[in-house]
Amino acid sequence: MPTDILERGPESIAKIRRLNFCIEALPQDSKQQLGFGDCQVRTDLEIKEGGLCMPKVSVIIPTHNRAEFLCSAITSVLNQTFQDFEIIIIDDVSKDHTREVIANFNDTRLKVIHNQVSKGAAGARNVGIMNSDCEYIAFLDDDDEWLPEKLKMQTFLLDNSLPEVGGVCTGCFTIAKVSGRVLSIDNPGMNNIYKNNFITTSSVLLRRECFEKCGLFDESMPTSSDYDMWIRISKIFSFRIIKNTLVNYYIHENRLTLNYEKKIRGIEILFEKYEDFFKKDRKEYSERYLCLGVLYCCKGELQKGRKAFSKSIRINPFEIRNYFNFILSLLGAERFKKLKEAKEKMFIQ
């Protein structure tokens, strides 16, 4: 049966939460905010003396009200040809039958953490990281799946890479969940991470040192915290790429984030942090303002949207979509939003 961390007693909690990357260096208010204010930190030496044998990989699966998808995600991990792992599921205050789905798995490698308050994707991933002691850390979104060879190929490559290689990512199939139609095959290239986010969260395997040296996911970011994390890691470590498509990344209506305010704020924070770096590639820099303009218009803020389109045009005057969206915004916010949302829904059919 899965190990339910939060429903165990204080002694069990202290044993499971072996935060051996210096959680004590965090300010006390940060510890409390992440839910670890009273946790005992154990060193690697204490773990060895206690006779505990750590698996090589921690697979972190945050979930929130996606019980209908979670079973397939967990099964895809259990079906890996590489079996030296633990699975840490962070239930971020789900109200559906998520607990029942997890309880159906009879595997002691599953550990479950039930957040008492919702922490969002970034916070849930951080809880998983802070409950992990493994050499490598992987993430799987609750509505994605891994192909059987993923962990085997990634661990082999990372084992045989220099220490400055912090992580390995793979190619992905983007699939419409309802129809099963393959929408695209995404094979990441060795692009500069500032040019575009070529790393799908469900595809990456990282050394735990990445988090020791670069920190955790930024919980102040309502979206794009994964991209922010990869940028910070890239300042110290490099990434290697496996071209094989080893992840099924599913698109469905439940996944389409229609909270425009959150999307806008995520992009704005990225600009605040990294705009000087984004400027190095005019095409991609223009694309970011185009996306921001679309979000503003869908939210009903047409003036801000047109301002973003205008900047996108100034940066890259040869991109026809910049002009098209500016003209489309003249139809009004409601029509603009309906056309964009209809396009997204057609894409996932």
Taking the CA atoms of the chain, what radius of gyration do you get in angstroms? 21
The pLDDT > 90 percentage for the chain reads 73
Cβ contact 115:91 at 8 Å:
yes
Question: CA–CA distance from 120 to each of 196, 250, 255, 311 (Å)?
Answer: 24, 19, 14, 32
Give me the pLDDT at residue 43, please. Answer: 39
142-184 pLDDT, tens per residue? 999 999 999 999 999 999 999 999 999 999 999 998 889 999 9
- Among 98, 129, 104, smallest CA distance to 1 is for 104
Domain 3-249, architecture per CATH: Alpha-Beta Complex (3.90)
- The answer to whether residue 190 scores a pLDDT higher than 70 is no
Q: Which of 349, 240, 257 is nearest to 295 (CA)?
A: 257
Q: Are strands 165-176 and 205-207 parallel, antiparallel or unpaired?
A: antiparallel
User: pLDDT digits over 238-247, tens only?
Assistant: 999 999 999 9
Instruction: Please classify residue 289 by burial: count the beta carbons closer than 10 Å to its beta carbon, then call 0-12 exposed, 13-18 middle and 19+ buried.
Output: buried
pTM for the full predicted model: 0.83
Residue 111: name the closest of 147, 87, 95 by CA: 87
Specify the domain boundaries for CATH 3.90.550.10 within the chain. Answer: 3-249
Instruction: Indicate whether 18 pLDDT > 90.
Output: no
